[in-house]
């Protein structure tokens, strides 16, 4: 028999503002009747991609797949200056969905290049954001995990900058390491505050519950970091991509209260579906009977007070709907 009595969704989850803006821009362009593409998947989430597809938004891998005059939305991760030039030359109508935080990262990098620093970029090689950033600093040394850091040379003037979603502890540790490698070290902290807040709220939720479910892309670095943080807190945790991945009622052990969080590309309504699914498969008879209502209440509680956690207009009314 199921033991889960209730669920809790971590606050400040759902799309980050950068992803939300890019998704909204793609929707708006398609709804305005324009032939709309996104350069790459605007977000690695099947449900979102399917809903964009239903509106007529087609992802393309390269610009040569877009017909002249069509609209191309640049996703939140940004692109290299070369890609922008190429799009203009092809006569494409570019809508820039690059996150404002990423734009400021790109500007900082450009300045470091102009100032002659040897640049170390903490990031995941081949991640689209890192690829875009390298367009501004082609000679930057990209490093990721700690066993990679021995590659960093000793130089007189060095600068450290980071991909937005890298964990703050990793950035701090690398900065400490680099102090001994340079005479002058410039540190530009570009860890995105959204990432930090999400991690804080995930830890807070993990401390309150008996089990955590983390929802996000399998290869998403910021999602994996949330899972790692739950482990550090000592709360048993399961990372999944979607509600349908939850099939084992025994996975939650003896937990009466289960917490849910998600990566920056996971829409908050996915967290609601996961909440409902947990209660359906592992809830007590009472919890199962009111699974949908409890999931809605959990969503309503997570979406308040800031209301910035989702692009869903209906979320503002969820708490009232759940209470009614």
Residue 20 token pair:
């939300």
Looking up tokens 């209660």, which residue turns up?
279
Answer yes or no whether residue 118 interacts with ligand SF4 by CB under 6 A. no
- Point out the catalytic residue in the list 21, 129, 280, 297: 129
Residue 78 token pair:
């940004």
286 is catalytic: no
Tell me how crowded residue 306 is: count the other CB atoms within 10 A of its CB.
Answer: 8
Answer yes or no whether residue 98 interacts with ligand SF4 by CB under 6 A. no
Answer yes or no whether residue 76 interacts with ligand SF4 by CB under 6 A. yes
Q: Which of 16, 83, 182, 246 binds ligand SF4 (CB under 6 A)?
A: 16
| Mutual angle of helices 168-178 and 193-208, in 10-degree steps | 120
Would you say 76 or 92 has its CB closer to ligand SF4? 76
Closest CA to 309 of 8, 7, 11, 2: 11
Q: Which of 45, 70, 164, 202 binds ligand SF4 (CB under 6 A)?
A: 164
Q: Which of 52, 174, 194, 209 binds ligand SF4 (CB under 6 A)?
A: 194
Residue nearest to ligand SF4 (CB): 18
Give buried/exposed letters for 133-147 (b at 16+ CB in 10 A, else e).
bbbbbeebbbbbeee
Answer yes or no whether residue 99 interacts with ligand SF4 by CB under 6 A. yes
Q: Is the dihedral of CA 199, 204, 205, 210 positive or negative?
A: positive
Tell me how crowded residue 95 is: count the other CB atoms within 10 A of its CB.
Answer: 18
For residues 263-302, which are near ligand SF4 according to CB under 6 A? Answer: 264
Q: Which of 143, 182, 192, 229 binds ligand SF4 (CB under 6 A)?
A: 192
For residues 198-237, which are near ligand SF4 according to CB under 6 A? Answer: none
- The DSSP code for 67 is P
Give φ, ψ of 141 to 5 degrees: -95, 115
CA 35 to chain centre: 27
Would you say 2 or 128 has its CB closer to ligand SF4? 128
Would you say 152 or 271 has its CB closer to ligand SF4? 271
Q: Give the binding-site size for ligand SF4 (rule: CB under 6 A).
A: 14
Answer yes or no whether residue 101 interacts with ligand SF4 by CB under 6 A. yes
Residues taking part in catalysis: 129
Interface residues with ligand SF4 (CB under 6 A) are: 16-19, 76, 99, 101-102, 164-165, 192, 194-195, 264
């Amino acid at each position: 028999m199921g033991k889960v009595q209730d669920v809790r969704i971590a606050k400040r989850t759902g799309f980050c503002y950068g992803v939300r803006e890019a998704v909204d821009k793609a929707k708006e362009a398609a709804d305005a009747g324009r032939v709309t593409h996104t350069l790459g998947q605007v977000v690695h989430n099947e449900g979102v991609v399917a809903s964009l597809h239903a509106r007529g938004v087609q992802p393309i891998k390269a610009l040569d797949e877009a017909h002249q005059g069509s609209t191309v939305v640049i996703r939140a991760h940004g692109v290299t200056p070369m890609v922008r030039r190429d799009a203009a030359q092809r006569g494409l109508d570019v809508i820039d969905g690059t996150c404002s935080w990423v734009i400021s990262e790109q500007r900082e990098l450009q300045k470091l290049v102009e100032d002659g620093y040897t640049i170390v970029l903490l990031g995941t090689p081949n991640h689209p954001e890192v690829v875009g950033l390298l367009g501004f600093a082609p000679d930057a040394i990209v490093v990721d995990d700690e066993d990679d850091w021995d590659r960093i040379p000793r130089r007189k003037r060095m600068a450290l900058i980071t991909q937005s979603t890298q964990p703050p502890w990793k950035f701090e540790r690398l900065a400490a390491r680099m102090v001994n490698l340079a005479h002058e070290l410039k540190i530009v902290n570009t860890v995105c505050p959204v990432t930090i807040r999400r991690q804080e709220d995930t830890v807070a939720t993990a401390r309150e519950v008996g089990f955590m479910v983390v929802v996000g892309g399998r290869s998403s670095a910021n999602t994996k970091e949330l899972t790692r943080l739950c482990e550090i807190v000592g709360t048993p945790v399961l990372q999944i991509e979607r509600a349908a991945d939850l099939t084992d009622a025994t996975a939650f052990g003896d937990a009466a209260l289960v917490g849910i969080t998600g990566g920056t590309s996971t829409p908050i309504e996915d967290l609601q579906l996961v909440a409902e699914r947990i209660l359906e498969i592992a809830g007590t008879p009472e919890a199962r009977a009111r699974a949908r209502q409890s999931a809605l209440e959990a969503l309503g509680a997570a979406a308040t007070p800031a209301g910035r956690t989702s692009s869903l207009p209906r979320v503002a009314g969820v708490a009232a709907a759940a209470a009614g």
